[in-house]
């Protein structure tokens, strides 16, 4: 029997090392794609929550502040189930050039790659965190106060003499 050269004699455990290396790479990609898909689904959910908040903001209410409060309440109710995935959700109302271009903007943070809590100190932002935003512009219906102010100003501008009367309320009912 032919004897092998000495360099090939001590190769015990080589297949175990190759297996561990391949498994680590495969698990990394598996976890990355899983995290990426969770991020995409959460982003779509936030887009929908922002749309629903904009829809609520669009609907008429007594005044502008009550419209903002209702939109914030809807956005918060949609964000509550995602507290473990989405961090720091915040709804803002960027100013547009009139009612037709107003909308809402939702800002949030999400982890692209989830690290076990063992590797992250409490209260520390992971390196893989992404700051994202979603914006929806549906316009906004004028509030009751804005509508009444428009008709009072319209009446005063053209000297119609209606002022803040019952006729103004009738115009509001048919005009806004």
> How far apart (Å, rounded) are the C-alpha atoms in residues 176 and 128?
48
Q: Is the pTM of this model over 0.95?
A: no
pLDDT band for position 9 (cuts 50, 70, 90)? low
* 68, pLDDT greater than 60: yes
Among 4-13, 41-50, 137-146, which is the least confidently predicted range?
Answer: 4-13
Nearest Cα to 91, choosing from 110, 112, 69? 69
CB distance 152 to 172 below 8 Å: no
The two structure tokens encoding residue 70: 């209702």
pLDDT confidence of residue 63: 81
What percent of the chain stands above pLDDT 90? 23
Establish how many alpha carbons lie within 13 A of residue 21's alpha carbon, considering only the half-sphere containing its beta carbon: 6
Which pLDDT score, from 0 to 100, does residue 74 have?
94
Q: What ranges make up the beta strands (E) of 24-163? A: 86-92, 103-111, 129-137
* pLDDT score, position 116: 55
Mean pLDDT of the chain: 79
Residue 91 dihedral angles phi and psi, to the nearest 5° = -105, 130
Domain limits, the chain? 15-141, 142-176
């Amino acid at each position: 029997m032919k004897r092998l050269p000495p360099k090939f004699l001590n190769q015990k455990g080589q297949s175990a090392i190759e297996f561990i290396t391949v498994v680590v790479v495969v698990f990394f990609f598996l976890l990355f794609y899983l995290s990426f898909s969770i991020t995409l689904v959460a982003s779509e959910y936030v887009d929908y929550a922002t749309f629903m908040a904009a829809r609520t903001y669009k609907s008429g209410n007594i005044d502008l502040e009550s419209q903002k409060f209702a939109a914030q309440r809807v956005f918060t109710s949609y964000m509550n189930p995602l507290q473990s995935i989405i961090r720091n959700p915040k709804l803002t109302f960027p100013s547009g050039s009139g009612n037709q271009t107003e909308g809402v903007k939702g800002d949030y943070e999400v982890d692209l790659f989830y690290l076990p809590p063992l590797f992250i100190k409490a209260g520390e932002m992971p390196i893989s965190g992404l700051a994202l935003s979603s914006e929806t512009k549906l316009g906004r219906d004028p509030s009751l106060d804005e509508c009444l102010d428009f008709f009072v100003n319209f009446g005063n501008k053209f000297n119609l003499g209606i002022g803040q009367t019952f006729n103004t309320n009738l115009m509001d009912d048919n005009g806004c």
